[in-house]
Amino acid sequence: MDSLPVRTGGSPGSEVASITAYGPARSTVTDKPLSQDEIKKYTQYFYTTLYLCLGMIYLKENPLLREPLETKHIKTRLLGHWGSDAGQSFTYIHFNRLIKKYDLDAIFVSGPGHGAPAVLSNAYLEGTYSEVYPNMGEDEEGLRRFFRQFSFPGGIGSHATPETPGSLHEGGELGYSVSHAFGTVFDHPDLITLTMVGDGESETGPLATAWHGTKFLNPITDGAVLPVLHLNGYKINNPTVLARITKEELESLFIGYGWEPYFVEGSEVESMHQAMAGTLEQCVVKIKEYQKQARDSGKAFRPRWPMIVLRTPKGWTAPRKLDGKYLEGFWRAHQVPITDVHTNPDHLKILESWMKSYGTDKTLDKSGKLIPELRALAPDGNRRMSANPITNGGSVLKKLHVPDFRDYAIPVTKGGTLEYASMQNFAKFLRDIVGNNMSNFRVFGPDETQSNKLDTIYEAGKKIWFGEYFEEDADGGNLAFDGRVMEMLSEHTVEGWLEGYVLSGRHGMLNSYEPFIHIIDSMVNQHLKWLEKCIEVEWRQKIASLNILLTATVWRQDHNGFTHQDPGFLDVICNKSPEVTRIYLPPDGNSLLSVMDHCFRSKNYVNVIVADKQNHLQYMDMDQAIAHCTKGVGIWDWASSDDDLEPDVVMASCGDMATQEALAATALLREYLPEMRIRFVNVVDLFKLIPDTEHPHGLSAKDWKSLFTEDRPCIFNFHSYPWLIHRLTYHRKGQHKLHVRGYLEKGNIDTPLELAIRNHTDRFSLAIAAIDQVASYGNRGAHARETFLNRQIWAKNYAYHEGVDPEEITSWKWPF
Amino acid sequence: MDSLPVRTGGSPGSEVASITAYGPARSTVTDKPLSQDEIKKYTQYFYTTLYLCLGMIYLKENPLLREPLETKHIKTRLLGHWGSDAGQSFTYIHFNRLIKKYDLDAIFVSGPGHGAPAVLSNAYLEGTYSEVYPNMGEDEEGLRRFFRQFSFPGGIGSHATPETPGSLHEGGELGYSVSHAFGTVFDHPDLITLTMVGDGESETGPLATAWHGTKFLNPITDGAVLPVLHLNGYKINNPTVLARITKEELESLFIGYGWEPYFVEGSEVESMHQAMAGTLEQCVVKIKEYQKQARDSGKAFRPRWPMIVLRTPKGWTAPRKLDGKYLEGFWRAHQVPITDVHTNPDHLKILESWMKSYGTDKTLDKSGKLIPELRALAPDGNRRMSANPITNGGSVLKKLHVPDFRDYAIPVTKGGTLEYASMQNFAKFLRDIVGNNMSNFRVFGPDETQSNKLDTIYEAGKKIWFGEYFEEDADGGNLAFDGRVMEMLSEHTVEGWLEGYVLSGRHGMLNSYEPFIHIIDSMVNQHLKWLEKCIEVEWRQKIASLNILLTATVWRQDHNGFTHQDPGFLDVICNKSPEVTRIYLPPDGNSLLSVMDHCFRSKNYVNVIVADKQNHLQYMDMDQAIAHCTKGVGIWDWASSDDDLEPDVVMASCGDMATQEALAATALLREYLPEMRIRFVNVVDLFKLIPDTEHPHGLSAKDWKSLFTEDRPCIFNFHSYPWLIHRLTYHRKGQHKLHVRGYLEKGNIDTPLELAIRNHTDRFSLAIAAIDQVASYGNRGAHARETFLNRQIWAKNYAYHEGVDPEEITSWKWPF
């Protein structure tokens, strides 16, 4: 049997210190704020949480170890992670002290992977868990259930999943703790978000740049993020980079990022308590000082915000070695620390004495509940980080004051005749939402808000900036300490901020170039998974939808070339649960207003809205737009020529440029083949295409038939990759008659028309497709076909020669 | 007219210095290595490149401005970016000096967005452009064409696209310059990759963590990256973070990242030349010193590698103001610096004198060619960064020595009876590829190689590590200076390294958990776009495929929960060009070997291979596996019961777990309904499903029919989201008879079987589906159906009770 740490309840013995990896504490702050009695109590509390962590990993019966531990008490399949639990719990309980002392409003974000036992054990000891889940009371049977459900089928995961009270950050995919944390404190001036940052997580790109959040934090109107970088030393099977560079480099790195790093390093529990208590307190004092200075003076500034580097051994307080191999302080402590307790009786004994060494026979009373003198260490009610209502964002959701979008209507009198800047017009609506909700709504974007023609919003709220100011900034810089728009060239960071902002009960929108939204595929995926799981968690209240406005779309990325052409984000979204996904492609300016109004009012979705930023033809007045968007899909009578008879062909479109070309094709056909009966259908709400059995927005078979027919050919011009339409409609009767056009991954440096021609989404290709699908029109059909082909070729040649599209072909108005 | 910089050829006057934004140079290194004559020449060379940059943006005629500039000479649509051109070109030409002086092998990576004019102008002046594109010779007509094609339909883009000689990094999507650069220098001990890093780009997550590449660079066997962080000051419409923090912070940041930063700041051209020449030279000397020290002693170490912070005004050398608004040194200089030359004659005049002030009347000879005394400043032949063969990786591609994969065969005598660890077995093959190619092949992964059961490869090459070493590392750490495996918890970084490595002519593989590969959706997209464009560029030779092995797949992420379940990367890949995408899902161990062998030998693709890491049933001996993988899809006679007659139902599968459950369903049906004629089809090569008209691997209609029939129901069990199969097969006759099962985004903490049941991909659901699709089997059919349902329910209950799948239901062997 290897060196087993023998502990005695609240008196951590020298055995512990001597065998642990890192020895007595070394720290920047050397205050010793704790009495010996407090040290004893914090140790007992700390050890009790660790007992609970091991209990979750191992036990399905005998939760208080009142019987000798046998294999029948052990879960059949051992799952769960021990590695970062101790460091996280240690930090958590020390912050509890400061919450009580300073009456702090605080939440806890758990960044390291699979560290849920640390937060779950604290939520349980604070009583929150049993309040939320009464079947897991603070007694032996409750504890048994609490242990059993962990990483157990039908139970909860090893991350801070939505089922975890006090969590708004699951962290299954690593890298977003710091950006999420910043999101929570914006416009929450009293909040401190204590953020454990994994040192593995710190190697990810999103985390590595998120430290720059300090340049966007207002000490007057925002709260504070207090990051604790947990130098746990190891990832799954590798050391971490930040744990293996010199201290000078590490310190420099965080000074460089704009923080003041405080170090707490060691593994001897007693001295570590003093060091952590003193250091955390100094950080809180600093935060409050900076905030007071700014708030008293009314002058915002960027201080070097404090942060902590906590270096403790991975698997802290586990046996240092097992069978001669390193456990504590090595990557072997990452997951289940002793894996063979079912078959190795010696190891079962080690586990038992290890667990017993935490002394819960003294810290949990007869019934299994934490003794009152220890419970008193944690805060009460909503001051508990596990019960802070901000972590159940829907419960503190403030109403968004949205002006009447009809007031921003574009004056359309006749479809297809007026050109107008839809996006610039929408910006006015957005500006007034910003203005109406100055502490409740923000706009996020990666340096593209102005390029996306939304800069009117700066009238209501400029761009938040706490970097240095230069002379030129006065000349259209639109920078301000108290801005409402957040721009940093990191899709990861702005998405993370927005997620944190809505998760903590506010509203917002991200605008981005369409091609680069793939950068955050995985983040949006994870947010959707969070939302979807929240539906199953009864006590979770719905939060505001996360709105993503995609513009600078593929069809106007002709000049930027192939790298800027990717409309495939919709495919990613369509793989996620129908309960939480919505996709809209408004064809013009009034429909854009109507759609955005709907999105801002909605809850618990990710709304993806695709709309181009350039001038476009307008098709609907406001009443028409509202009616059309409410239905989500509909026939445009004014553009149809089927006179309510069965059409020869259905011309359908989804997306603004797609609609423009489809309408132009229809106009061409009217001119050349007026007898062709064309029904024009436009789709705004993409999920209308799915059967109603598969998505709440889906059309019934009957409604589908009334629009698309079941036997007529349909030329469907789509904004994105064409096969997405086939994927959505494969259950539809007559779907084999659907001829979908979309982006075929063909492009280089082109003009808009030429790009469309390359992908067969241009008016000529569509008109030809219609002719080819419908019964022959004899010579006139052949003539029209040839004319269209010739004009296409001419347009292409013209573009190659002049560098622009030929106006005489591309500019058109609805002719009737 | 505003303050126009008046320059006179090679004698930049005080007017320039006085009006530029940043004044005389301030730099860490104060050496002044240049003579006055050299300064004059470098200025002339620099100015000539800038003239060319403006020419590309503006001119379609009159390239030498020998006629007065008129609007008819100006491109109709003005496109292109001026902002970072000067700083990039400045750096490029100063490195030319050192290439000549030290006979350096160097390439240039252009990180800032849209900075192609800088590299294009240098490639043109070096003569490379005309060699590669003889129709754009070094004369007036050649120059005219060179200008005209830029950002022009049918021409080239404003990034360093594949058409650009000397480029292996396009950079349309920002963030990857540094990881790409590291990838190029691994195992290229003599190479220096001069890497311009945009300060906007630096805000991205991928770039922010890529600086840590120094912990993975061997000074003996690798070359060096010399980053020049271009503090250009602005992005599209915003200041950059790194340009607006204190110098102390900026310096600390890079010391923290492990670099030694040298500063060069200013805008006065003359003093900037001295500063840059001296500083770049010192960096090169340092690099060579460190390399010599390590190579002479045979002892590798991690020095603080030198880097440069170059602060020049955005749009450097443009007019400081235009119409009273800041241009040089502000974000207005980002793109086309003067936008209204078509309509504003004053501005046209400003443009003309601005261009003329660069003095090309003296630096370009009568024919339009650079005068010899300036041409002599640049290197010749392959020493030109624009002509370095490494940037055309296929031209220096070394053969990969792959052992015979048959030697690693798993001894399968009867399908479906042997359980074996396919991935661990493949690891032996991979180990020997590593061993055979010690300077030509690397394995990359985000801390999951061991978890993915590939750790056998450490026998041939350990993990490269230049962080600190601890005592524990000897105990299974597998770290080494001269390793061959690269692991960092950043999918972005390891993917970027691998891309750089293959782009510069080597081979490699990335292994990753399947769920988190979405993190690099956009990077893989961009690499695919690069590959696809390269096909159109005649002189580009094919590089090794980029191989992505996805394991820890969705069906075995039951215990990690919902965040770890996402097989949707395949959807992203399927949107890209068929010319460059390949997807394989080998069902067992021998097929995995065969597929991987094929992938390693292939060129110019992204190969995505999906295979689980756990033990699995084996189905094919090596000969069968080779035959099956060569076809890519086929009937498994041994698992079929249709006796070559028309089947009642086709049971198809794609993916290892999917195949296991489909076979188990088939076995169940044999047992309960032996008269059912089942044909079992397995798909390895996913693109077989697409028609041959759409993908080179696609099956012809005839072959499709011979496998799947056109009229029989097919239960298709798929690894990923089911609708992807519908998307691939929507053109197939009888596709409405395809009933696809796959991941439906349903999961929590489950067991593998339970997870399958939730998504209807388990054996019972599949067997029931078959019964439901085929003509009734009367009571026996109903009985079988009920039995399956009951066993399903029982299995679920068992899992909830015991925490594991019931062995008596899940473990099975092929029964016949």
ipTM for the assembly: 0.96
CB distance B373 to B125 below 8 Å:
no
Which of A56, A79, A151, A204 is best to mutate for the B interface (most B CBs within 10 A)?
Answer: A204
Q: Which of A358, A391, A424 is the last residue of a domain?
A: A391
pLDDT in the model for residue A774: 85
How does residue B327 score in pLDDT terms, banded at 50, 70 and 90?
very high
For A598, phi then psi, to 5°, come to -60, -45
Of residues A7 and A396, which shows the higher confidence score?
A396
pLDDT of residue B15: 36
Q: Is the residue at A3 inside a domain? A: no
Considering the domain architecture, whether residues A234 and A295 belong to the same structural domain is answered as yes
Q: In this predicted model, what pLDDT tens digit does every residue of A650-709 receive, in sequence order? A: 999 999 999 999 999 999 999 999 999 999 999 999 999 999 999 999 999 999 999 999
Side-chain half-sphere CA neighbours of A149 within 13 A = 19
Q: What is the pLDDT of residue A21?
A: 66
Determine, for residues B566 and A525 on separate chains, whether the beta-carbon distance falls below 8 Å.
yes
Domain assignment present for residue B175? The answer is no
Q: Are residues B505 and B643 in the same domain?
A: no
Q: Does A467 touch chain B (CB under 8 A)?
A: yes
pLDDT at A246 exceeding the cut of 50: yes
Residue B612 · residue B657 · CB < 8 Å: yes
Tokens of B568: 């949707």
For range B278-303, the mean pLDDT: 98
- If asked whether residues B597 and B685 sit together in one domain, one would say no
No. of H helices and E strands in chain A?
26, 23
Gap between the Cα atoms of A326 and A312, Å rounded: 15
B475 touches chain A (CB under 8 A): yes
CB contact under 8 A, A489 and B516: no
Are A455 and A592 in a shared domain? yes
User: If pLDDT is split at 50, 70 and 90, which confidence band does B778 have?
Assistant: confident
The pLDDT value recorded for residue A811 is: 82
The answer to the question of residue A816 being in a domain is no
CB contact under 8 Å between A212 and B241, yes or no, is: yes
The answer, yes or no, to whether residue A4 has pLDDT greater than 50, is no
Interface contact flag, A516 B173, Cβ < 8 Å: yes
| pLDDT the model gives residue B562 | 94
pLDDT above 70 (res B300): yes
Say whether pLDDT at A18 is over 70: no
Find, among A646, A653, A546, the residue nearest to A604 by Cα.
A546
Do A710 and A752 sit in the same domain of this protein?
yes
Per residue in B677-725, pLDDT (tens digit) is 999 999 999 999 999 999 999 999 999 999 999 999 999 999 999 999 9
**Which pLDDT value is given to residue B10?**
28
CA distance A197 to A225: 11
Mean pLDDT (whole number) for B272-295: 98
For residue B93, give both structure tokens: 């030409």
Helix (H) / strand (E) containing B269: helix B269-297
Report the distance separating Cα B265 and Cα A313, nearest Å.
43
Residue type, B549: L
Do A588 and A655 lie in a common domain?
Answer: no
Give the strand order in the sheet containing B649-654.
B633-635, B678-683, B649-654, B714-718, B738-741
Task: State the total domains in chain A.
Answer: 3
Asked whether residue B816 carries a pLDDT value surpassing 80, the answer given is no
Write down the pLDDT at residue A816: 61
Contact (CB, 8 A) for B603 and B394: yes
- Answer yes or no: is B221 within a domain: yes
DSSP-derived pairing of the beta strands B26-27 and B105-110:
unpaired
Type of residue found at A139 = D
Instruction: Look at residues B723, B518, B694 and name the one whose alpha carbon lies nearest to residue A744.
Output: B694
Of A554, A587, A616, at which residue does a domain stop?
A616
Interchain proximity B745–A577, CB inside 8 Å? yes
Q: Do A489 and B572 touch (CB under 8 A)?
A: no
Q: In the predicted model, is pLDDT for residue B143 greater than 50?
A: yes
Question: Are residues B291 and B142 part of one domain?
Answer: yes
Task: Provide the edge-to-edge strand list for the sheet that holds A678-683.
Answer: A633-635, A678-683, A649-654, A714-718, A738-741
In three-state secondary structure terms, B513 is strand
Q: Is the CB of residue B646 less than 8 Å from the CB of residue B705?
A: no
Task: Please indicate whether, in this complex, the C-beta atoms of A157 and B749 are within 8 angstroms of each other.
Answer: yes
Residue A634, H or E segment: strand A633-635
Q: Is residue B234 a part of any domain in this protein?
A: yes
Do B369 and B401 reside in the same domain of the chain?
A: no
**pLDDT classification of B24: cutoffs 50, 70, 90:** very high
Q: How many of the other CB atoms lie within 10 Å of CB of A401?
A: 14
Q: Which two tokens stand for residue A745?
A: 């991954």
Whether residues B215 and A804 touch (CB distance < 8 A) is answered with: no
pLDDT of residue A720: 98
Q: Does residue A777 register a pLDDT over 90?
A: no
Q: A803, B152: Cβ pair inside 8 Å?
A: yes
Residues A62 and A143 in one domain: yes
Q: Are strands A581-584 and A507-513 parallel, antiparallel or unpaired?
A: unpaired
Q: What is the mean pLDDT of residues A509-531?
A: 98
Contact B678, B642 (CB under 8 A): yes
Probe site for chain B from A749, A754, A759 (most B CB atoms < 10 A): A749
Query: Whole-angstrom Cα distance, residue B122 to residue B116?
Result: 10
pLDDT band at A813 (very low <50, low <70, confident <90, very high): confident
Same domain, A387 and A410: no
- Asked whether A9 and A44 are in contact (CB, 8 A), the reply is yes
| HSE-up of residue B391 (Cα within 13 Å, Cβ side) | 29
pLDDT band, residue A812 (cuts 50/70/90):
confident
Annotate A563-593 with b (16+ C-beta within 10 A) or e (fewer). bbbbbbbbbbbbbbbbebbbbbbbbbbbbbb
- pLDDT tens, B554-611? 999 998 999 999 999 999 999 999 999 999 999 999 999 999 999 999 999 999 999 9
pLDDT band at B156 (very low <50, low <70, confident <90, very high): very high
DSSP-assigned beta bridge partners for residue B718: B654
**Contact (CB, 8 A) for A575 and B759:** no
Are both B475 and B370 inside the same structural domain? no
* Element (DSSP H or E) covering residue B121: helix B116-125
Average pLDDT, chain B: 94
- Name the closest residue on chain A to residue B61, using Cα atoms: A802
Inspect the interface and report whether the beta carbons of A330 and B450 lie closer than 8 Å: no
Is 80 exceeded by the pLDDT of residue B146? yes
How high is the pLDDT of residue A12?
A: 30
Residue A722 has pLDDT above 70, yes or no: yes
Which CATH number covers residue B678?
3.40.50.920
Which of A:481-520 have CB within 8 Å of B? 487-493, 515-516, 518-519
Whole-angstrom Cα distance, residue B554 to residue B544? 28
CB A499 within 8 A of CB A442: no
Residue B106, by phi and psi: left (phi above 0), alpha (psi -120 to 50) or beta? Answer: beta
Select from B454, B459, B463, B510 the least CA-distant residue to B485.
B463
User: In this model, does residue B2 exceed pLDDT 80?
Assistant: no
pLDDT per residue as tens digits for the range A546-567: 999 999 999 999 989 999 999 9
Residue A767: inside a domain: yes
| pLDDT for B263 | 97
- Looking at residue B113, its pLDDT comes to 87
Residue B627's pLDDT is what? 98
pLDDT in tens, A127-151: 999 999 999 999 999 999 999 999 9
Q: Across the interface, which of B330, B455, B525 has its CB nearest the CB of A566?
A: B525
- Tens of pLDDT, residue by residue over B232-277, are 999 999 999 999 999 999 999 999 999 999 999 999 999 999 999 9
Q: Which of A584, A616, A648 is the last residue of a domain?
A: A616
Dist. CA A448–CA A431, nearest whole Å: 16
A13 has a pLDDT exceeding 80: no
Statement: residue A70 has pLDDT above 80 = yes
Q: Is B723 on the interface with A (CB under 8 A)?
A: yes
- A815, A671 Cβ separation under 8 angstroms: yes
| Segments forming the whole domain that contains residue A453 | 406-616
pLDDT band with cut points at 50, 70 and 90 for residue B21: low
Q: Best interface-test mutation with A: which of B60, B81, B457, B745 has the largest number of A CBs within 10 A?
A: B745
In this predicted structure, the answer to whether residue A643 has a pLDDT above a threshold of 90 is: no
Query: Do A81 and A147 belong to one domain?
Result: yes
What residues does B464 pair with on adjacent strands? B480
CATH label of the domain that carries residue A155: 3.40.50.970
Q: Is A374 helix (H, G, I), strand (E, B) or coil?
A: helix
Element containing residue A227 per DSSP (H, E): strand A224-231
